[in-house]
Chains A and B, each alone.
Chain A
Amino acid sequence: MKEATEVIQIRDLYLNFYTYEGVVKALDGVSLNVKKGEILGIVGETGCGKSVTSLSILKIVTPPGKIEGGRIEFNIKGKTYNILELNEQTMTRVRGRYISMVFQEPRAALNPVYTVGDQIGEVFYIHRKEEIIKAVIEQLKKEIETTKGFKRRRLNIYLSLYERMLKNPRSLTIRLVSKVPILRRFRNLMNKEIRKRTVELLEVLRVPDPERVVDMYPHELSGGMAQRCVIAMALVANPLLLIADEPTTNLDVTVQAQILVLIKELQKKLGSTILYITHDLGVVAELCDRVAVMYAGNVVEIADVMTLFKKPLHPYTQGLLESIPRPGRPFTSIPGVVPSLINPPPGCRFNERCKYAMDICWKKKPELIDAGKDHYVACHLYSSGGK
């Protein structure tokens, strides 16, 4: 058995949206894998199912969307779990800790009524409580040695409370004491520790003047800063997989470049795996190791970046690359429009717009086939021995 090199393996994922107009077959047998330590880009037009694929990985698809079938295998510590079979309680522990997500609109992704520090701190509190309590206990023990008298007695009480909290974070005593005014001051130590770590994290993300930023509300931040804070929230628990859903789409080009450099650096430093969703082929070329191209709810091609840009196989990928505007060349685009996903055409969903369409394209849905060197394509052109 091979050592799990894949962090996530999606197999034949089907997802429908039940709307008034009919059933939108948004994902139609999506299969892809994310390897450990890589940046996988997912590209495709609006509505091709990029975002909903990422939401499925976290299992936060909201009605009317519903996952109809397939498997999402998540490899962790040598074990494999099917995310779709995990219950909600387990998933809340997975989300943010092992898989976390950065959203498209940074300022909308922050709660307007809390400061940045509060919100990042909350994630610390949810996922790294134990670590923080341990740090506080260490600190308390050191402090107790150097103090005397009444203060020492108080610190001793705090120490016992924290030790109790470490043993059983939901213990009744702790919950009661945390509600009583004055007595709950013992939590200040923990809050201070969380704040310290939040500031450190913001420093890593090159937020200027982090001491001040932690006390700011989201509306006081610029788009780039807000996005850094959102990324900070996602990185709190040092997740195995970071999903970035078009994190730079709404930012200025210069800020976008900064964020991309930052993501790349962080990825190198932390060795985390990133699933980067975008419709910008330029970003993909710059950032990603491998690319999955999606079209109308299907993955049509997966390859590493160089191969995909040099030798695209699928007619859609070819069309997509040709439609990148370049100076001295007339605008080109793929003729036709994306088919309605309520009544998708039979067979391959690209058949109506494809210049190589054959009879079989209207009859049978193409499977992802191996075209060599980790290059997969879903097209009938290559199924009969590869032309």
Chain B
Amino acid sequence: MKIKVPERFEPTVKEIKFILKRVKDTPLSLAGITIVLFFVFIAVFAPILAPPAPGLNPYIIPRDESLGFRVEPSPPSSTHPFGTTMLQRDVYYGCIWGTRWAFEIALKVIIAIVFIGVILGLIAGYYGGVIDEILMRFTDIILAFPGLILAMCMTTVLTQAGWTTIDSVLLSIVLIGWPGYTRLIRGETLRIKNEDFIEAARAAGSSDLRIMFRHILPNAIYSVIIVASLDFGSIVLTTAALSFLGLGAPTGWADWGRMIYDGMSFVRGGLRWWWSWTYPGLFIVFFVLGWSLLGDALRDVLDPLYRRK
């Protein structure tokens, strides 16, 4: 099939073709894209794949009343393809809605930290001097702590202060996440602001805001896109870790980390109750794997240093 392309868009079409070819040639990036698309599919169609009970919070895994109040998990059956976990909560339901939950957390956190990082990074890099010094020392303070431990402390403190556990998890991950992006954008800004075209833009009468957002940001955003896609997986991993430590989502929440935590009591039984912790574990592994492969693929196509190799 041959589509007539207007001459103006020819380079764009060529570029897209090139990207598709790159992706096709590297099986790993293809795998990454497939995995991520698979999870997107699950997240989007969660209400169809695992219909929630009407009127209830869909993120709370419903209990199967017919199996009674037994604590031990029941094995996979036709009604519960992945079996049930503690208190007869359906593992399959949890995994499906956990995907949606993972996307929800990751998106919220990524948007928040990219937003903060872009604004603070641009300000620090562009104005320099005292503002830069203060902001960078703040990031140093936060980067000086091991991220997970700081997040744990923050979550505990915020929960004590009356926040819901979920909000405090989100906020503490934002807190440990923003310094990286701020430094990234600041570094790029420092590089770009010395380019001639910035001076030219100033000589043409552009205001500081216009220079920062119209001239510097579009040149600096590529590395942020790549890092954000790599972080998409690790944010989910961090929330899972917090949930696993019992700090995050409450019991019964469709959160993979929480489900592993709930299933952990049954690890003692060896492989006897394997389904209660294997399935959510596999979901986490593949989710993170998919995003980091996708991040690598993005770098291969977007980064001019790598792309022509």
A-side residues, CB < 8 A to B, are: 58, 60, 62-63, 92-97, 100-101, 103-105, 108-114, 122-123, 126-127, 215, 230, 233-234, 236
Residue contact B204 to A112, C-beta cutoff 8 Å: no
Tell me whether A93 and B205 are in contact in the complex, defined as CB-CB below 8 angstroms, given that A111-B215, A113-B219, A215-B8 are known contacts.
yes
Q: 7 tightest CB-CB pairs across the interface, nearest first?
A: A96-B205, A108-B196, A96-B204, A101-B203, A95-B205, A109-B200, A111-B197
Within 8 A of A (CB), among B206-233: 206-207, 210, 214-215, 218-219
Residue contact B206 to A126, C-beta cutoff 8 Å: yes
- B25 at interface by CB-CB < 8 Å: no
Q: List 27 A-B contacts (CB under 8 A).
A: A58-B203, A60-B202, A60-B203, A63-B129, A92-B206, A94-B205, A95-B202, A95-B203, A95-B205, A96-B203, A96-B206, A105-B196, A108-B196, A108-B197, A109-B196, A110-B200, A111-B197, A111-B201, A111-B218, A122-B214, A126-B205, A126-B210, A127-B205, A215-B8, A230-B200, A233-B200, A234-B203
Residue contact A109 to B205, C-beta cutoff 8 Å: no
Tell me whether A100 and B204 are in contact in the complex, defined as CB-CB below 8 angstroms, given that A113-B219, A122-B214 are known contacts.
yes
Roughly how many angstroms separate A127 CA and B128 CA in the complex, as a whole number? 28
Chain B residues whose CB sits within 8 angstroms of the CB of A96 once the complex forms: 203-206
- Please classify how large the interface on chain B is, using the bins under 10, 10 to 19, 20 to 34, 35 or more: 20 to 34
Tell me whether A103 and B204 are in contact in the complex, defined as CB-CB below 8 angstroms, given that A111-B215, A122-B214 are known contacts.
no
Residue contact A101 to B205, C-beta cutoff 8 Å: no
- B104 at interface by CB-CB < 8 Å: no
Residue contact A108 to B203, C-beta cutoff 8 Å: no
For B193, give the chain A residue with the smallest CB separation. A62
Interface contacts beyond A92-B205, A123-B204, A126-B210: sample of 18 additional A-B pairs, CB < 8 Å, sorted by A:
A58-B202, A62-B199, A63-B129, A92-B206, A92-B207, A95-B204, A95-B205, A96-B204, A103-B196, A103-B199, A103-B200, A109-B196, A109-B200, A111-B218, A112-B197, A122-B204, A123-B205, A233-B200
Roughly how many angstroms separate A113 CA and B210 CA in the complex, as a whole number? 15
Roughly how many angstroms separate A109 CA and B203 CA in the complex, as a whole number? 10
* Shortest CB distance A285–B (Å): 27
Roughly how many angstroms separate A109 CA and B197 CA in the complex, as a whole number? 4
Roughly how many angstroms separate A350 CA and B195 CA in the complex, as a whole number? 33
For B222, give the chain A residue with the smallest CB separation. A113
Chain B residues whose CB sits within 8 angstroms of the CB of A94 once the complex forms: 205
Roughly how many angstroms separate A111 CA and B202 CA in the complex, as a whole number? 12
Please tell me which one of the listed residues B197, B201, B205, B214 contacts residue A97 in the complex, with CB atoms under 8 A apart: B205
Tell me whether A112 and B207 are in contact in the complex, defined as CB-CB below 8 angstroms, given that A103-B199, A103-B200 are known contacts.
no
Q: Which of A60, A62, A109, A230 has most B Cβ within 10 Å?
A: A109
Roughly how many angstroms separate A71 CA and B210 CA in the complex, as a whole number? 29
Chain A residues whose CB sits within 8 angstroms of the CB of B218 once the complex forms: 111, 113-114
* Shortest CB distance B172–A (Å): 32
* Shortest CB distance B204–A (Å): 4
Residue contact B205 to A112, C-beta cutoff 8 Å: no
For B216, give the chain A residue with the smallest CB separation. A111
* Shortest CB distance B222–A (Å): 10
* Shortest CB distance A318–B (Å): 35
Chain B residues whose CB sits within 8 angstroms of the CB of A122 once the complex forms: 204, 206, 214
Chain B residues whose CB sits within 8 angstroms of the CB of A95 once the complex forms: 202-205
* Shortest CB distance B199–A (Å): 7
